Amino acid sequence: MTRVSFILWALMLVTWCAMRYPAMRRARRQKTRVDRRSTLDISLLVLCTVGLVVLPILWRLHAFDGFADRGQGIIPLILGLLTGVAFLWLFRRSHKDLGKNWSVTLEVREGHQLVTQGVYAHVRHPMYASFLLWGVTQALLIPNWIAGFAGLAAVLALYAVRQSREEAMMRDTFGAEYDAYSARTKRLIPGIF
């Protein structure tokens, strides 16, 4: 069962990479108007890479030598598959709705537009929501207390730091239009939070 769980996790990682690559290429061609990257921002992105990619691979390569392993049952595997499908759908939809407005760090592009359609009509941060789903998926599919939950912990740290900074940047860029958008949408979960 553990092998199947890891294979599912690895397939989701490969799918995520295939979805992210075109957006990364497109973003490199866009000129940046406002750049609010910081060392903390980059450090948190590295932490997410370690938590969401490196630790599960090291776990599978037996670097933990069984430390903090837990059993894997069919229920977590099925739930992991379902949350993984939701993560990939929301991630893809977020990228598609953002189009040329996406960047990996806190940046505003030249010609940047406030996106309020698609999934952004319901939540302000669907990309973060997708990453939180990825963290939950990993916790369900990687049966190790450290490698399984490392991604979720890293994404929560990233969100806790970046969300307010990102919203301040959007407010500075779009003013009252962003305030009106914020008033009618929730941050991560439609109608709830």
User: By C-alpha distance, which of 61, 70, 122, 120 is closest to 95?
Assistant: 120
For position 57, which CATH number holds? 1.20.120.1630
Helix and strand counts by DSSP (H, E) for the chain: 7, 2
For residue 158, give its domain range.
Answer: 2-184
pTM listed for this prediction: 0.94
User: Which helix (H) or strand (E) is 176 found in, with range?
Assistant: helix 176-184
Q: Please report the pLDDT score of residue 28 as a whole number.
A: 85
Q: Does residue 32 register a pLDDT over 90?
A: no
**How far apart are alpha carbons 123 and 105 in whole angstroms?**
19
Q: Does residue 1 register a pLDDT over 90?
A: no
Please report whether residue 193 resides in a domain. no
- The mean of the pLDDT values for the chain is 95
Q: Please report the pLDDT score of residue 150 as a whole number.
A: 98
Q: Which residues pair with 34 in a beta bridge?
A: 108
Q: Please report the pLDDT score of residue 34 as a whole number.
A: 87
Please report whether residue 192 resides in a domain. no
